[in-house]
Amino acid sequence: MLDDFLVRAVLASVAIALAAAPLGCFVVWRRMAYFGDATAHAAILGVALALALSISISLGVLLTALAMGLGVAAIAGPSAGLGIGGAGLDARGAARPAADTLLGVFSHGALALGLVATALVPGRQRDLSAFLFGDILAVGRADLAVIWGGGALIIALIAWRWNRLLTATLHGDLARAAGVDPGREQLVLVVALAGLVAVALKLVGVLLITAMLIIPAAAARPLARSPEAMAFMAAALGCIASLGGLAVAFMLDTPAGPTVVAVATLLFALTQALGRILPTGLAR
Amino acid sequence: MNRIVKAEAEASSSPAGAAPLISAEGLSVTLGGRAALSDIDFAIAPGEIVTIVGPNGSGKSTLVRALLGALRPSTGQVHRRRDLRIGYVPQRLQVDASMPISVARFLDLPARRGAAAGAEALAEVGLAADGPRGVARLPLAALSGGQFQRVLLARAMLGRPEILILDEPAQGLDQPGAAAFYRLVETLRGRLGCAVLMVSHDLHVVMSASDRVICLNGHICCQGAPTVVRDMPAYRSLFGLGTGGALALYQHRHDHVHDDGCAHGLDAADAEPTR
């Protein structure tokens, strides 16, 4: 059964949808969409690194995504919201640009640098579109193992830290008074995000990874009345988008990754409309 | 991780009540190149009620954050008793609209206490958990300002704190509301026997149960006990009826003047942002 490329594509995209759902909720709650972009864009630099050093692409991507996440987190500070807050002064008193400007510089700088570096790696001419948009139908058995293993680790990590992450997301000092270090919880999210980028790269590509994180979570919001319900709804909506997107892509012969994201966007529009009709939400 | 903030090792071996819960020695905090706090010596004993007053920008919240360990001192040290249970009520908690969370779920963070304990804590702060006026199932974002402060207080009490730290908890409340809130804090503190560290937005009117009032303006300007005005008719009419003696007047005894509005005791070179 695993010999069928479509079956492998379905299994891989379901794993990514499940792993992205709880993480995506935190990306939405903490306004980390730009942060997700920066981490994902750093992946293309990881591809260049992997090609130059002849190491596994997943490993190269994991390393650069992690380095980017840690670097940006260190500069932006341990505050809960990475995407919010204007220009200001850090703890040492140095003036810094607004967090979103900084993330924009990192994000697009990493993407451009990665594209340049990939072109400079000697060897045959490479088609970069697979890395930019993903190639969901080229997922092999070994890729499937990496995706399910990595996805399971990400889900386990987020589940383990769930209450601490929620507390740190609500209020940093409130968390600290309760014995939760907000900086450490931010680190957990950075590691999980880098892991997701590494396992999802082959499927959806660097340009659409953030979409897989935030669109199902945002679509789940009007239907949910608790953080847990939102994570489960996001997982369900992500799976529906993946299966629906693959079916549409197969029928219309369109690129699979963008089609999945397009279906997720459609679901988002539907739940927003539904949220107007059902003010209190469905799931508790 | 934080090498400056250390739990006081000898505290557990010393007799109960003797060692302070939290203390600071020569604490200075620099924010944005500016000295936000300089040379603060502070200690709060078990069961003590301390109110911190000071004008805007005087470093009240900075002091609280440094005592919590959220800010790193530039010089000096902060000691917290080992495994100190802190109940913290922040000045403001803005729940992002993107997160759906009910009062009951919030009370269960970070440690699950259960619905019964949550309902009991809500009852203690004068809120119903269930029924027509019940708040347990309401989203946090749907609460009024006064309800929110009480829910924050209920959550802080759930951990059976040894010290309750409140950062301008009565800020959004009118005077009867503030008096009611202070009475509530006093009642809960009587029941739990915990210490209370309260930051007040009002320079002159403080919680009457305060053992000590500290006036802060970058450094400690003065400290002392508040004057209880319950029995003074002139003040009673000023504070209005129905505050039930919850409020007291604090008379400042400064031995210096702040004529230029900036931190004194520093010469001009110190006050300049360092580059």
Give the number of other CB atoms < 10 A from CB of residue B266.
14
List pLDDT tens digits, range B146-196. 888 889 999 999 988 999 999 988 777 777 777 888 888 888 888 888 999
Residue A132's nearest CA partner among A219, A204, A71 is A204
What is the predicted pLDDT for the residue at B267?
A: 37
Looking up tokens 């908690």 gives B93
Contacts of A171 in chain B (CB under 8 A): 90, 93
Is A170–B95 a contact, with Cβ atoms under 8 angstroms apart? yes
Residue scoring higher pLDDT (B274 or B58): B58
What does DSSP assign to residue B102?
Answer: B
Nearest CA in chain A to B97: A29
* Strand locations in chain A (E): 88-89, 95-96
Q: Summarize the confidence of residues B54-82 as an average pLDDT.
A: 89
Check residues A263 and B56 and name the one with the higher pLDDT: A263
**ipTM for the complex shown:** 0.82
Name the H helices within A182-255.
182-204, 209-220, 227-252
pLDDT at B16 over 90: no
Residue A33 is which amino acid?
A
User: In sequence order, what are the residues at sequence separation of 6 or more whose Cβ sits closer than 8 angstroms to the Cβ of residue B272?
Assistant: none
Q: Give the C-alpha separation, A48 to A110, whole Å.
A: 12
Task: Indicate the burial class of A271 (C-beta count within 10 angstroms; 0-12, 13-18, 19 or more).
Answer: buried
Going residue by residue through chain A, which has 284 residues, state the pLDDT in tens, using 9 for 90 and above.
566 888 899 999 999 999 999 999 999 999 888 888 889 999 989 988 888 888 888 889 999 999 988 888 887 665 434 433 333 344 444 556 677 788 888 889 989 998 888 888 876 566 778 888 888 778 888 889 999 999 999 999 999 999 999 999 999 899 999 989 998 999 999 999 999 999 998 888 888 899 999 999 999 999 999 999 999 999 999 999 999 999 999 899 988 888 999 999 999 999 999 888 876 554 44
Position B17 pLDDT exceeds 90: no
Give the minimum alpha-carbon distance from A230 to chain B in angstroms, rounded to a whole number: 8
Alpha-carbon gap: B102 to the closest alpha carbon of chain A (Å): 7
How many whole angstroms separate alpha carbon A9 and alpha carbon A26?
A: 26
Residue B232's pLDDT band (cuts 50, 70, 90):
low
Contacts with B108 from chain A: Cβ below 8 Å: 163
Would an 8 Å CB–CB cutoff place B160 in contact with chain A?
A: no
Is B271 an interface residue toward A (CB < 8 Å)? Answer: no
Q: How far is A6 from chain B (nearest CA, A)?
A: 35
**Axis crossing angle, helix A5-29 with helix A227-252, rounded to the nearest 10:** 140
What's the full length of chain A, in residues?
284
pLDDT > 70? residue B245:
no
